[in-house]
Amino acid sequence: MEQALAVLHKDIVAEFRTRHAVNSLIMFGVTTLVAVSFAMGPFGLSSHVLAALLWIILFFSAMAGLSRSFVKEEETGTIMALKSSADPTMVLLGKMMFNLILLAALEIVIVPLFFVMMDTWPSAPTRFFAVLLLGSLGLSAVSTAVAAIVSKAGSKGALFSVLAFPVLLPLLLSSISGTASALEGASPVWPELRLIVGYSGILITASFMLFEYIWEQ
């Protein structure tokens, strides 16, 4: 656990030096949000459309930034040092925490802006933030594992989104329908939360079991 925190600390320090990942993530998110709001803001959209738009913005911003965690190590050649100094599972855990923090930073900017620009507020705020939190947890953890695969595959252009999108799709669909019912506030979000937790649980467990094999490539 100490090792994981050390990896997290190292990543945060490195990120603060350049702020490359967090900047591109937030700029991507804000740009998309502005485009969406400009095109559709005045129409009083239904909560299903709003939920889908919010998650599409979050998802594609995440795709733009979250692969950096492992790709950066390969590019700068620091991966060998990391390999020799930390246990693989702890590296993965550290990177997952770092990506979760990145995604949280994105959401702190995007979600309030979204409420303002789309002129909306969830009827059931607790449920809304529960879905947002658990969905982001799954999103960041699973895309970290996929980022590890992509970094070893030579990080070719769109490969990250191509690999991450199908695996994350069930998570995304459940998050969208959960967010929609939280915005409306009429129906409970338990079925969606159960799916989100179950699905991310399966994938996170699997990626911890398999990470060693990616790491040794």
Partner 1 sequence: MVWKYLLGIFMVVVILGSFFYAQPALGLGEVSRIIYYHVPAAWVAVLAYLVAMVSALRYLRTRDISHDTAAAISAELGTLFAVVATVTGAVFAKVTWGAYWNWDPRQTSITVLLLIYGAYFALRSAVDDDQRRAGLSSVYAILAFFTVPFLVFVVPRVYASLHPDPILNVDKKINMDARMLQVFLASLAGFTGLYSWMYSLKLRIYRMLRERTGV
Positions that interact with partner 1 (CB under 8 A): 145, 149, 152-154, 156, 159, 162-163, 165-167, 169-170, 173, 191, 194-195, 198-199, 202-203, 206-207, 210, 213-214, 216-217
Closest CA to 101 of 9, 207, 214, 203: 9
Q: Phi first, then psi: what are they for 153, rounded to 5°? A: -90, 15
CA 126 – CA 106 distance, rounded (Å): 19
CB of 190: closest distance to partner 1 in angstroms?
10
Residue 197 identity: V
CB of 204: closest distance to partner 1 in angstroms?
10
Q: Which is nearer to partner 1, 125 or 198 (CB)?
A: 198
CA 8 – CA 130 distance, rounded (Å): 24
Residue 184 identity: E
Q: Which is nearer to partner 1, 8 or 172 (CB)?
A: 172
CB of 17: closest distance to partner 1 in angstroms?
30
Q: Which is nearer to partner 1, 118 or 130 (CB)?
A: 130
Q: Which is nearer to partner 1, 42 or 198 (CB)?
A: 198
Closest CA to 101 of 140, 135, 128: 140
